[in-house]
Amino acid sequence: MLLLDDEARIQSMQRDRWIDYARASAVLHLLGRLLATPERDRMPCLLLHGESNIGKTQIVRKFIRDHPPSFDDRRGVEKRQVISMQMPPVPDQHRFYSALLFEIGAPHNPKAGVSVLEGLTRALLRAMKPRMLVVDEVHHLLAGNYREQRASMNLLKYLANDLQMSVVLVGTADAVVALQTDPQMSSRFSPVELPRWSESEDFRRFLHAFEKLLPLRRPSSLAQRDLVRFVLATTGGLTGAVAQLLTLAAEIAIRDGSERIGLAHLEEVAQLAA
């Protein structure tokens, strides 16, 4: 990639990139353990929470990529170990079942009643035999009234019990608040938080790994103390903000010919964003 011209290198940085780091590996390990859990009456479940732009969705997508669907030629059925969906902005059972059917590519009548959608969803999931259902943006539960929140949470418990699969909820701290209104939900879903970055050896390793993926022709040594502190102060320790800051700084470094990120590049990006 270093042999490409400037525009091609800049364009290459706009693609999603996965960087392995300790926190992400720990969460992926937990998800792997859940996926390997044999069927039992009370399946273990997980609540992954953290602030917006901290990297929750990226970790989940990495896990899904590592466990792609397969096709059973004999039965003519697609099998998915992991099914992922987003909680609808307005949480109710009808929208939830429609969203889930859409994610698995199942034709359905969106005007059908809840009982019809529920029956179709259960039948298809039993055929597909998923071991895990991931529901992102679960903090949308708070957009509904108390009755709708309870109905949605009961639906999640029902699916976990009925299909004997683990359910992983992903959301902000509001998701913790939503689950705490139901003692059964809070006891079943083990909370795992992705906190903001702080100045640490783990963060320096993350910056070092990120630097190795940037198509710059000279080393930037991003783990230097002054750069580390500036990055944390500018981004608030949010993984997505860190990635954006470094990517824009790398683009400037390519365009001005320096081919390495210095403090001046980071300051220029910070001023543009201010």
Which tens digits make up the pLDDT trace of 82-133?
999 999 988 888 999 999 999 998 888 888 999 999 999 999 998 888 999 9
Per the structure, the complete domain to which residue 53 belongs is given by 37-194
- Whether residue 172 is contained in a domain is answered as yes
Shared domain for 60 and 183, answered yes or no, is yes
d(CA 223, CA 233): 14
Position 74 pLDDT exceeds 90: no
Q: Considering 168, 194, 220, which residue would you say is the last residue of a domain?
A: 194
- Whether residue 77 is contained in a domain is answered as yes
Shared domain for 219 and 237, answered yes or no, is yes
- Whether residue 251 is contained in a domain is answered as yes
d(CA 32, CA 224): 34
- Whether residue 69 is contained in a domain is answered as yes
Shared domain for 106 and 165, answered yes or no, is yes
* Range 210-219 average pLDDT: 95
CATH number of the domain enclosing 173: 3.40.50.300
**Alpha-carbon distances of 47 from 14, 44, 66, 111, 186, rounded to whole Å:** 30, 11, 20, 31, 9
Shared domain for 228 and 158, answered yes or no, is no
Q: Which of 49, 28, 78, 53 is nearest to 179 (CA)?
A: 49
Pairwise pLDDT comparison (29 vs 146), residue with the higher score: 29
Q: Considering 129, 163, 194, which residue would you say is the last residue of a domain?
A: 194
Shared domain for 202 and 184, answered yes or no, is no
- Whether residue 185 is contained in a domain is answered as yes
* Range 228-252 average pLDDT: 96
Shared domain for 163 and 144, answered yes or no, is yes
Residue 252 CB: number of other CB atoms within 10 A?
Answer: 18
Domains contained in the chain, number: 2
Shared domain for 185 and 226, answered yes or no, is no
**Alpha-carbon distances of 241 from 192, 197, 202, 246, rounded to whole Å:** 21, 11, 17, 9
Tens-digit pLDDT profile for residues 196-214: 999 999 999 999 999 999 9
Radius of gyration of the CA atoms of the chain, in A: 22
d(CA 207, CA 220): 10
- Whether residue 204 is contained in a domain is answered as yes
Position 179 pLDDT exceeds 90: no
- Whether residue 31 is contained in a domain is answered as no
pLDDT score, position 23: 92
Shared domain for 65 and 109, answered yes or no, is yes
Shared domain for 177 and 207, answered yes or no, is no
Q: Considering 194, 211, 234, which residue would you say is the last residue of a domain?
A: 194
Position 193 pLDDT exceeds 90: yes
pLDDT score, position 77: 74
Confidence of residue 274 (pLDDT cuts 50, 70, 90): low
Three-state DSSP string of 143-200 = HCCHHHHHHHHHHHHHHHHHHCCEEEEEECHHHHHHHHCCHHHHHHEEEEEECCCCCC
Shared domain for 188 and 215, answered yes or no, is no
- Whether residue 9 is contained in a domain is answered as no
Q: Are strands 132-136 and 82-86 parallel, antiparallel or unpaired?
A: parallel
Position 229 pLDDT exceeds 70: yes
Tens-digit pLDDT profile for residues 5-30: 999 999 999 888 899 899 999 999 99
